[in-house]
Chain A
Amino acid sequence: MVEIAVIIALLPLLAFVIQIFFGKRLPRQGDWVSIGAIVSGFGLSLYLFIQMLTRYDPGFVITESFTWIDLGSFKINLGIYLDNVSITMLMVVTIVSSLVHIYSMAYMEGDPRYSRFYAYLSLFSFSMLGLIIWDNLFGIYMMWELVGLCSYLLIGFWFEKDSASNAAKKAFITNRIGDFGFLFGLLIVVTAIGSFTLTDIAEGVASGKLSGGWLTAAGILLFCGAIGKSAQFPLHVWLPDAMEGPTPVSALIHAATMVAAGVYLVARLFFMLSLDAMIFISYIGAFTAIFASIIAVTQNDIKRVLAYSTVSQLGYMIMALGAGSFTAGFFHLVTHAMFKAGLFLGSGSVIHAMHHAMHKLDVHDDPNDIRLMGGFKDKMPTTYRTFLIYTLALSGIPFFSGFLSKDAILGGTLAFAVSQSNPIHYLLPVFGFAAAILTAFYMFRLVILTFHGEPQRKDLYENIHESPKTITIPLSILAVLSIFIFYTLPGINPFSAAHGWFEHLMAAPASAVAQFSGHPVVDISEHTAHSSHTLAMIISIIVALSGILTAFAIYYWKKMDVEALTEKMGVLYRLSYNKFYVDEIYEATVVRGLLMWNNLLSWFDNAIIDGLVNLTAWITRHTSALSGKFDNAVIDGMVNEIADITQGFGRQLRRVQTGQIQTYIFAAVVGAVVIILVRLV
């Protein structure tokens, strides 16, 4: 089994190597190599997945490791860790990745760096799959950085565009800031426990080698990595900009898989999170969820809306994990991967069509701008239908996968709030519900503006065509996968996945912290969980519907004037539209500050360190000038600092050498007398 997992990961790597060296010379620029690799990976994952389902064992774990570095007293072991979570994750990644690979055949057709694109996609697939199967933080950290690299390469794929290269750089550096925390956490863990392996860490935490404040610190710091990668506040700024990359990339990396890696990491580390760490994580998630959805409401770029939506949904997942709802968080990761990938691919389909239309008409407008769309549902029926399904799933409407997972999350946070003594924790479910309203609202705003109503630009509208099969088939597949039934089997209750395979197999791992301290980290009774769940379900259906209705009221039935509304909202609108000015604040403080600091240091290096003695030299020179003996011709440009003083010294000394023989004799006599006088004194 381990071998299969390794092969799944290595196939794309092989594809990458082939692509990078021979891609251009292969027929069809070798896209089939990458596609073949990932589809084979999908096949193998499916095999593992089916085995998992037939085994139906929640406690299934298999590990195998080898020594990577052995320094005698210090070893780094690397290994593979397969359990239900990682197998499911493999499945999700290979599905989405395969579909995106296929989708890209049409989308990227004719791009001058077509083979390079597939190479990067393969490298990404490798890194992501590797990240999933490593059994240790060190390997995860390595892959973590590699997926970051791929994200960088793919965001900046059209690097001729300054915006793309800026976005790529921003993504990487922002992630590095998060990774700094990750590294810090890693160091705490390895210092305390002496190993990176998840099993060793679990043992170490359980035996108290790492506990108390350091444990909390380790948990929070490791989570910092997730803040970066999963675009949580305050490091969320890179993700919307990442939409500069080709849309398939957005779908694969910046919606479905890589950004979920943060969530996956938190899930992996779930066993070692202390309560304080969990609360911190939960609040970060909750705040991000509401914060991003507020921004999403006012955006006009189709992909940016989706990007903020992604940030918001990732916040949900993080919030759930922090609140102890392991299964719910991971569940949402999986369902979200499907419909969010679909949404992006669907938007890609629209953009593709817009792009072609604009190209044909030779107009240069932004193909992503929803204000130029409208009424596309007739022109692009498949895209419209699938898009609608995803939207319903995302909004949390029953019968779709999103409803199940979102409901689980909200129920989980509600139960968490109930179980905690401090009532402030009710903020978490409140944020969750508020975000749910906004989600439903902005998603339907998007659907209505894009596909319904009057075409805003007739000329473009006339030239819009449905996308080819390679695009619509993946859309359809993902749409199907957004139906509830896949997640509730063997149960068929559209309102609860409680009896489905998913909830059965993805049970929360045993908490090592609890083992050490002897009491559960988050103690939620069966009853609380059940009642919260029911309550949450009702509320969430209501809020979703109200969000949808508002969207229809404003944008479809035009019950309210949008202009007037924005006027009315005033400050709030501007804050939302300008993304709360976070970028601007960073630009003004961090970026400017850093550059100024660098220039200061550079100046310091030239002027102070290097010129410390030049100053002395200057003084020497000027004293010499005063005495009228300054020799302007400083030895041919060899202005060396120490030599300058020495030379100043020498310049004074040589004046004694007057050429007068009597001075010489006199000086010698004086010298002798001085020696004798010194002796006397």
Chain B
Amino acid sequence: MGFLTLITFIPVVGMIIVLLLPKKNLNAIRWVSAAATFIPFVLASYLWTQFNYNLGGINNESTFQFVEHARWIPAFGIEYFMGADGLSFPMIWLTTLLSFICIFASWNIDKAQKGYFALFLLLETGMIGVFGALDFFLFYVFWEVMLLPMYFLIGIWGGPRREYAAIKFFLYTLFGSVLMLLAMLALYFNTTDPVTGAHTFNMLHMMDQSNHSDWLKILDVRYLIYIALFIGFAIKIPMFPFHTWLPDAHVEAPTAISVILAGILLKMGTYGILRISYPILPDIAASTSWYMAVFGMINILYGAFVAMAQKDFKKMVAYSSISHMGFVLLGMSVFTSAGIIGAVFQMFSHGTITAMLFLMVGVIYDRAHHRDIEGFGGLGLKMPVYTGISSVALFAALGLPGMSGFVAEIMVFIGAFPVYRTITIISAIGIIITAAYILWTLQRVFLGKLNPKYENIPEINGREIFTMAPLAVMTILFGIWPIPILNLMKTSLNYLIQIIP
């Protein structure tokens, strides 16, 4: 059994153990969960040391790493096919890290803990699987496996409007994924395995244009398939105007789940486009890139503007995610090294930054039991450490140099500017708006006179620092020295650009 399989399925093993534990034994449940997320993290970190930076992956099985290839449903061309390349590996690693951290962010879950941790572990398997799968069917299964745990995690442990948020999330994403299902089937029936001549779900075979049937060479057909896939992914990103599930889901979800939602799930949309849409239909990707750039621009600005109008701290963070994902879209749309690597780096860095932001909101919500931005004030006086860490998170979101978000955004701009000048410049206005809403929030929450209600508010505790500090360190570390991550990505992504005409 390969490492990727272990990483993917150890959480499920953990889930089974958790389910077998008695309900009352809280600590055992927590620590088993921690172990079940920590081991994949360790393994993923080990794989990082083994990662060969010179192999591209994308559409060539021999340059994928940690490949596992097994028969599953041979009668229908379905395989268990996992592997990592520079596009997926950073996301896998990030997923294992955030999952581990989120176990600790979930320490204070106050009801039905057993169910919570079991579902959480199942969710992790789904997430890692999505990033590792190279068989489209497998990808789809993992993609959908995430939905159920997410529905319950939001619906049972969420905030006051949890039911609404949960079903909204569920319906939206299901709507997207069924379209993806159809596109997947259409691709399946028009792709043949060059060796056996049978249809195949193997993504890499789908990427080889010579395996496509004549029907799949018709331009209109390719557009339709591309759009179907794109809507599926765009909902996850979430791209304007498919974004309205996000503020609800993020706001109502418990802290750790918001972290996972924003940190990992959103990335799956853009990951899917890069992993599936681009290499399989490169010509369509190239000819529709302008629209993608425009949507990226809209996301950046729209998200930022709306974030500024929010009164709810968490909602503000949620809309900021929309804005930041716009950078990914913009970077992806241009097919230049800087743009596309910037986009993927933004996926990674936003994963850490937004995770911090949600953890930050979680800390204050646990204490004040509300999230009204106007209802705080002067917390910097009573909670200096918390304020410090929060400032790191907020400034990272703002794109301050020395933090990873800055590197990603500037790379996106550098990459996008030569291709779409006007769009890039309009998008760049986003950095001003972002500064405005972040600083305004910072001011209203942490600065000014202390709200007398919070005279005795306790300082952030060790566990909470433990959840936020590694992310803060990473943000700064990769902001100053992004090479480790960029090296992971660059061979694959440069190769990806070459595929696109």
Contact = CB atoms under 8 A, between A and B. Distances in A.
- Direct interface between A and B, CB < 8 A: yes
Interface of A: 20, 68-74, 138, 141-146, 149, 152, 156, 159-162, 164-166, 168-169, 172-173, 176-177, 179-180, 183-184, 187-188, 190-191, 594-595, 597-599, 601-602, 605, 609-610, 636-640, 642-643
B337 A191 contact: no
A169 B448 contact: no
A154 to B, nearest CB: 13
Interface string B472-491: 00000000001100100011
Nearest to A175: B435
A601 B338 contact: no
Contacts of A165: 443, 447-448
A116 to B, nearest CB: 8
A610 B402 contact: no
Interface stretch (B228-236, B269-277, B304-312): B304-312
B431 A180 contact: yes
Contacts of B306: 598, 601-602, 605
A255 to B, nearest CB: 23
A597 B244 CA distance: 19
Nearest to A190: B414
B432 A177 contact: yes
A64 B388 CA distance: 35
A73 B486 CA distance: 13
Given A162-B449, A169-B443, A173-B439, A191 B418 contact: yes
Given A71-B494, A188-B417, 19 more contacts: A69-B486, A71-B338, A71-B486, A138-B410, A145-B406, A156-B443, A160-B448, A169-B442, A183-B428, A191-B417, A595-B309, A601-B309, A602-B305, A605-B247, A609-B241, A609-B243, A638-B164, A638-B167, A640-B171
Interface string B443-471: 10011111000000000000000000000
A188 B494 CA distance: 23
A184 B447 contact: no
Contacts of B308: 594-595, 598
A179 B247 CA distance: 30
Contact of B309 (A141, A168, A599): A599
A598 B305 contact: yes
B152 to A, nearest CB: 15
B402 A146 contact: yes
Prevailing SS type, chain B contact patch: helix
Contact of A142 (B168, B244, B402, B433): B402
Contacts of A138: 410
Given A73-B337, A169-B439, A191-B417, A598 B309 contact: yes
A609 B417 CA distance: 30
A130 to B, nearest CB: 10
Interface of B: 163-164, 167-168, 171, 175, 241, 243-244, 247, 302, 305-306, 308-310, 336-338, 341, 378, 380-381, 388, 395, 400-402, 406-407, 410-411, 413-415, 417-418, 424-425, 428-429, 431-433, 435-436, 439-440, 442-443, 446-450, 482-483, 486, 490-491, 494
A180 B400 CA distance: 13
B431 A176 contact: yes
A602 B306 CA distance: 5
Shortest 9 CB-CB distances between A and B: which pairs? A142-B401, A602-B309, A165-B447, A159-B447, A598-B309, A187-B417, A176-B435, A71-B337, A598-B308
B241 to A, nearest CB: 5
A640 B167 CA distance: 8
Nearest to B242: A609
Contact of A160 (B167, B336, B381, B406): B381
Contacts, number: 147
Nearest to B486: A69
Contacts of B446: 159
A574 to B, nearest CB: 30
A69 B415 CA distance: 13
B163 A637 contact: yes
> Which of B243, B305, B400, B428 has the largest count of A CB atoms less than 10 A from its CB?
B305
A73 B402 contact: no
Contacts of B337: 71-74
Contact of B447 (A142, A156, A594): A156
A609 B244 contact: yes
A642 B447 contact: no
A597 B301 CA distance: 12
B402 A173 contact: no
Nearest to B437: A598
A162 B448 contact: yes
> Which of B175, B243, B447, B483 has the largest count of A CB atoms less than 10 A from its CB?
B447
Contacts of A638: 163-164, 167
16 contacts: A68-B483, A69-B407, A71-B341, A71-B490, A72-B490, A74-B338, A142-B401, A159-B443, A160-B447, A169-B442, A169-B443, A180-B431, A183-B428, A594-B308, A598-B305, A602-B309
Nearest to B483: A69
A145 B395 CA distance: 11
Contacts of A610: 244
A149 B395 contact: yes
> Which of B302, B401, B407, B413 has the largest count of A CB atoms less than 10 A from its CB?
B401
A226 to B, nearest CB: 17
B168 A160 contact: no
A170 to B, nearest CB: 9
Contacts of B429: 180
Contacts of A173: 432, 435-436, 439
Contacts of A639: 164
B417 A145 contact: no
A187 B413 contact: yes
Contacts of A640: 164, 167-168, 171
B75 to A, nearest CB: 36
B370 to A, nearest CB: 19
Contacts of B167: 638, 640
A20 B417 CA distance: 38
A152 to B, nearest CB: 8
Nearest to A639: B164
A173 B447 CA distance: 16
B304 to A, nearest CB: 9
A165 B439 CA distance: 9
A597 B243 CA distance: 19
B229 to A, nearest CB: 21
A35 B167 CA distance: 59
Nearest to B429: A180
B486 to A, nearest CB: 6
Contacts of A71: 337-338, 341, 486, 490, 494
B247 to A, nearest CB: 8
A184 B428 CA distance: 8
B169 to A, nearest CB: 11
Contacts of A161: 448
Given A638-B167, A639-B164, A183 B401 contact: no
Contacts of A145: 400-401, 406
B401 A141 contact: yes
Nearest to B495: A72
A142 B395 contact: no
A594 B486 contact: no
Contacts of B243: 609
Contacts of B400: 145-146, 149
B85 to A, nearest CB: 15
Nearest to A170: B439
A159 B380 contact: yes
